A and B are shown apart, each in its own frame.
Chain A
Amino acid sequence: MYRYDEYDQSIVDARVEEFRDQVERRLSGALTEDQFKPLRLMNGLYLQLHAYMLRVAVPYGTLDSRQMRMLGHIARKYDRGYGHFTTRQNIQYNWIKLADAPDILAELATVQMHAIQTSGNCIRNISSDQFAGAAADEVADPRPWAELLRQWSTFHPEFTYLPRKFKIAVIAADEDRAAMRLHDIGIQLLTRDGVLGAKIFVGGGMGRTPMIAHEVKDFITADHLMSYLEACLRVYNRYGRRDNIYKARIKILLHEIGVDAYREQVEAEFAAIRDLGIDPPLAELERITAMFTGPDFASDAPDTVDRADPDFAVWLDQNVAAHKQPGHAIVTISLKPIGGIPGDASADQIDLVADLAERYGHDELRVTHAQNIVLPHVRKADLYVIWTALRDAGLAEANLDLISDIIACPGLDYCSLANARSIPLAQKIGERFAGRQRELGELKLKISGCINACGHHHAGHIGILGVDKKGTENYQLLLGGSGAEDVSLGKITGPGFDEDGVVDAIERVTDRYVALREADERFLDTYRRVGMQPFKEAIYG
């Protein structure tokens, strides 16, 4: 894992001081709310329906047990005893007092954490594959590159007042576990002629106009990554639309001028800046990479698991993935208990997970974009004790990638922009399908409470969008989206439903799927094979 040196620490400490000063100026009236807003947003502080919400960065979703415990401590001391893990691998707290925010940042800084650029029209937290460093299919660990990007983007002087927020994801495997192509910039590491480099995709995003990122550069080596990305960002900063916030994302710029014109402008900009010394030397990437060599795995760890306990065996098959090291495994801890709030974790659960990581998991944890937690490096021999501890804490739901592993935005319960509630709907769906979800197999369901698409509904195998219909909450159903390597955008089935109606409609869709499926086909594959029509007939008769 990355460890701060004195430079990193002094920058994060300075940020705490700066924000303390800004909050004091706001509380004294020296700053108006309008002037304070962009400043607090760059520290992840939003004003929601009931209180301030603070979003804390978990860079590329990686943290250790000490950092995890700090997240629990903050939940206990400054919030109502829980936190909410987000689709960008961060955590947010919903009940924060403005006057406490500087102290929270100061506490975070003691464990090398911060809330820098977790909101605002700047480069946001860099996200990555939650299985990085553990997956057998990666060409390299993507996180050293993500850390390089974190440093480069932190307080970037030119790109702090972009037309709109800017999200970057880095992966290093063909299987895309980070929704890379739904980011403003998606980076995929690959090797060419033995050299590690990056393929750059630009212009993905969700929101009201979802788009899949286009390939803009087929290969760029590490020694020119920063200058190339500066060129990408500069073209956007200069020519992205600023007249309408709904058209301000980079995806709209690419859509309006075309990917070829965008690429040409980037190349011209790149030619002008590539030799100006913007790129750090390769020694810097090497310095960072050395901190990600990973734990010393026991080479003699037994590779078999006792499956005698049937409940454990179910969890093992659903939530445990193959590790690159024999005798080891990757555990995904579901934060989606049936009837719970997707992504929420109590301070006690956070502490427990931290303890497990410390005792059994080489002190590493990950947050996933599907709002779950991962123990990336555990011995197979320890799986049963881990499962037992999780079960006792209500954290052993065996539903990874099943229909109840729902991504849901905060919706009308918290969000002032919402048309409809997301959380109660997620709870109803979980309860309705709990008994037969395994029979339905992989089925990613995602809910957004309005067109802003925080809940990734465009990328759900089944997506649900909350709309306002003459003052009542209404839900549209979408089918066929995917955020993975087979990325696609869902299509609306037809007229919307009320809350119970949409749950019924999903049941008719899944019944039809079971009737139509061939062999082990996933719902998404059946949909792609037969198209929308049979499902429309099932829903609307």
Chain B
Amino acid sequence: MVDPITVNTNAGETLLRFRDDVVHDEPAVTLDAFLGQTNATAVRLEAGDDARELLEHLGQIALVEISFPTFRDGRGYSAARILREAGFEGELRAAGDVLVDQIPHMRRCGFDSFAPEKPVDAATLTKLLALYPQPYQKAADARVPVWKLRHG
């Protein structure tokens, strides 16, 4: 999906979603709480949490929310890729200090939903998402890297 759908959740958050399924409305629990109780379907990872601890439970999870305490803290990019590399297909949400200029990279790492603390300008985002014709690397999205275009 190229352009996001903007939705307002029951909790009053504004979400930018690159998915067309319904928003998962069960509240996300902490990693500790999740590992301690077996029936939760939504988890919130803090920046320092180890995403790998979720890998054996991916089948039951519909939403992982990854927190960005400041836009400078890039740990969540690796967490997202780890989950996608392991086959996670549920909603992957970046929440917190998420800036519009970061969303294209986050999309490449597998995020498909965004809950930025401060509003994101939709026109700027659309422009940024269309800016780069092709990436140099393979990542967690479907975009085809330049080397693949060169060599088939």
Question: Which positions in A face B, CB cutoff 8 Å?
Answer: 5, 7-8, 10-11, 14, 17-18, 21-22, 25, 30, 35, 38-39, 121, 151-152, 154-163, 226, 234, 237-238, 242, 272-273, 276-278, 280-281, 283-284, 287
Contacts and interface: CB of A to CB of B under 8 A. Distances in A.
Contacts of B72: 38, 121, 161, 242
Given A38-B71, A160-B105, A14 B131 contact: yes
Contact of A151 (B75, B128, B133, B136): B136
Nearest to B151: A283
B135 to A, nearest CB: 7
Interface string B54-89: 000000000000000001111101110100010000
A7 B139 contact: no
Size bracket of the B interface: 35 or more
B137 interface: yes
A267 B108 CA distance: 24
Contacts of B136: 11, 151-152, 154-156
Interface string B121-137: 10010011001111111
B27 interface: no
Nearest to B147: A280
A157 B135 contact: yes
Given A7-B134, A155-B136, A160-B74, 15 more contacts: A11-B146, A14-B131, A22-B101, A155-B132, A157-B108, A157-B137, A158-B139, A159-B77, A234-B78, A278-B137, A281-B147, A281-B151, A284-B147, A287-B150, A287-B151
A37 B62 CA distance: 36
B151 A18 contact: no
Given A17-B131, A18-B131, A161 B73 contact: yes
Nearest to B52: A272
A216 B138 CA distance: 25
Contacts of B124: 21, 25
| Main SS class of interface, B | helix
A534 B78 CA distance: 52
Interface of B: 50, 71-75, 77-79, 81, 85, 99, 101-102, 104-106, 108-109, 121, 124, 127-128, 131-139, 145-151
Contacts of B85: 272-273, 276
Contacts, number: 106
A265 to B, nearest CB: 11
B86 to A, nearest CB: 8
Contacts of B75: 237-238, 242
A7 B134 CA distance: 8
> Considering the complex of A and B, which 3 residue pairs feature the smallest CB-CB distances, nearest first?
A161-B74, A157-B108, A280-B147
A237 B137 contact: no
Contacts of B145: 280
Given A14-B132, A121-B72, A157 B147 contact: no
Contacts of A155: 105, 132, 135-136
A158 B131 contact: no
Contacts of B138: 276-278
Contacts of B149: 7
Contacts of A21: 124, 127
A35 B72 CA distance: 10
Given A237-B74, A238-B78, A278-B137, A158 B132 contact: no
A252 B102 CA distance: 27
A162 B73 CA distance: 7
22 contacts: A7-B149, A8-B146, A10-B133, A14-B131, A18-B131, A38-B72, A121-B72, A152-B136, A155-B132, A157-B104, A158-B139, A161-B73, A161-B77, A162-B74, A237-B78, A238-B50, A273-B85, A276-B138, A277-B138, A280-B148, A283-B151, A287-B150
Given A160-B105, A278-B138, A14 B133 contact: yes
B136 to A, nearest CB: 5
Contacts of A163: 74
Given A7-B146, A152-B136, A154-B136, A35 B77 contact: no
B134 A11 contact: yes
Given A35-B99, A157-B105, A284 B150 contact: yes
A313 B118 CA distance: 67
Contacts of A281: 147, 151
Nearest to A18: B131
A10 B78 CA distance: 27
A226 B72 CA distance: 24
Contacts of A159: 74, 77
B78 to A, nearest CB: 5
B126 to A, nearest CB: 12
A2 B101 CA distance: 30
A157 B102 CA distance: 9
A158 B77 contact: yes
Contact of A7 (B73, B81, B150): B150
A278 B139 CA distance: 7
A137 B146 CA distance: 33
A185 B5 CA distance: 41
A238 B149 CA distance: 31
Contacts of A22: 101
A152 B131 contact: no
Contacts of B79: 238
Contact of B139 (A5, A25, A154, A157): A157
Contact of B77 (A10, A237, A283): A237
A443 B93 CA distance: 56
A35 B101 CA distance: 10
Nearest to A22: B101
Contact of A39 (B101, B105, B109, B151): B101
From B105, B131, B132, B137, name the one whose CB has the most chain A CB atoms within 10 angstroms: B137
Nearest to B118: A35
Nearest to B69: A242
Nearest to A236: B78
B77 A157 contact: yes
